[in-house]
């Protein structure tokens, strides 16, 4: 195995792990606040305000106060819950794809050593990178969708405005990270 192949694989692996951490971190926690999907609700925590809870059925509570929503606001709250759940599922799928890639590369290392053929590692890394690429693109799309729904809900319901934790920068950083990953995968 030559040092170039090993370095490319290490860089690809580190980039994939970094990208996963960056995108997933925004879904869980960033400087603006955090969101967590637990059971049938999304819990949104921001500094200086009580937690907000968006239920799967479209209910919304801020602190201990349940808000009365119009049908349109309830539909937005329900979509917010669905988008947050989709983001969590996309993050999990991306992490699992990264884990499978890591395991496959470790296996290919042994095979490459056994057969004295470093191209085995390259082929394994490229297959894994293609899988991660699709997952990362899905993750970024989910993040973008959640931001759009969050902003629509905040616009329709000013009491929700402080709970806008997904920012345009979060989405652009995820997309930029996906583009960097594309460059390594190709």
* Tens-place pLDDT, residues 24-67: 333 445 567 888 998 899 999 999 999 999 999 999 999 999 99
CA 164 to chain centre: 17
CA 64 to chain centre: 29
CATH of 3-30+70-185, one of 1.20.1250, 3.40.50, 1.10.3470, 1.20.120: 1.20.120
Backbone angles phi, psi at 24, to 5 degrees: -65, -35
- Sketch the domain layout of the chain as residue ranges: 3-30+70-185
Q: Provide long-range contacts, Cβ within 8 A and 24+ apart, for 73-79.
A: 73/153, 73/156, 73/157, 76/149, 76/152, 76/153, 76/156, 76/157, 77/153, 79/149
Residue 139, Ramachandran bin (φ over 0: left; ψ between -120 and 50: alpha; else beta): alpha
pLDDT > 90 fraction of the chain, expressed in percent and rounded: 39
Q: Provide long-range contacts, Cβ within 8 A and 24+ apart, for 111-118.
A: 112/1, 113/1, 118/1, 118/2, 118/5, 118/6
Query: Which residue in the block uniquely carries the two structure tokens 């669905």?
Result: 82
Strand positions, DSSP E, the chain: 29-30, 33-38, 41-45, 52-55, 60-62, 65-66
Using alpha carbons, select from 16, 24, 48 the residue that is nearest to residue 170: 24
Task: Specify the pTM.
Answer: 0.70
Number of H helices and E strands in the chain, helices first, is 4, 6
Most confident stretch, 79-88, 135-144, 168-177: 79-88
pLDDT digits (tens, 9 = 90+) for 114-159: 777 777 677 766 676 777 788 788 889 999 999 999 999 999 999 9
- Gap between the Cα atoms of 26 and 37, Å rounded: 14
CA torsion angle 77 83 85 89 (round to 10): 180
In the predicted structure, residue 87 carries a pLDDT above the cut 50: yes
Other residues' Cβ atoms within 10 Å of the Cβ of residue 119: 12
CA 2 to chain centre: 34
């Amino acid at each position: 195995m030559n040092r170039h192949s090993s370095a490319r694989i290490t860089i690809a692996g580190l980039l994939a792990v970094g990208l996963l951490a960056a995108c997933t971190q925004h879904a869980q926690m960033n400087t603006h606040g955090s969101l967590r999907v637990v059971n049938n609700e999304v819990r949104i925590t921001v500094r200086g305000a009580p937690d907000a809870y968006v239920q799967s059925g479209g209910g919304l509570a801020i602190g201990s106060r349940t808000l009365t929503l119009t049908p349109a606001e309830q539909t937005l709250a329900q979509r917010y819950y669905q988008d947050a759940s989709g983001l969590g599922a996309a993050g999990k799928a991306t992490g699992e794809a990264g884990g499978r890639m890591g395991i496959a590369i470790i296996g290919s290392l042994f095979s490459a050593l056994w057969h004295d053929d470093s191209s085995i590692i390259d082929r394994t890394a490229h297959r894994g990178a293609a899988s991660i690429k699709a997952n990362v693109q899905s993750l970024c799309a989910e993040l973008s969708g959640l931001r759009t729904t969050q902003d629509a809900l905040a616009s329709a319901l000013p009491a929700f405005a402080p709970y806008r934790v997904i920012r345009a920068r979060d989405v652009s950083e995820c997309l930029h990270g996906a583009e960097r990953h594309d460059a390594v995968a190709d």
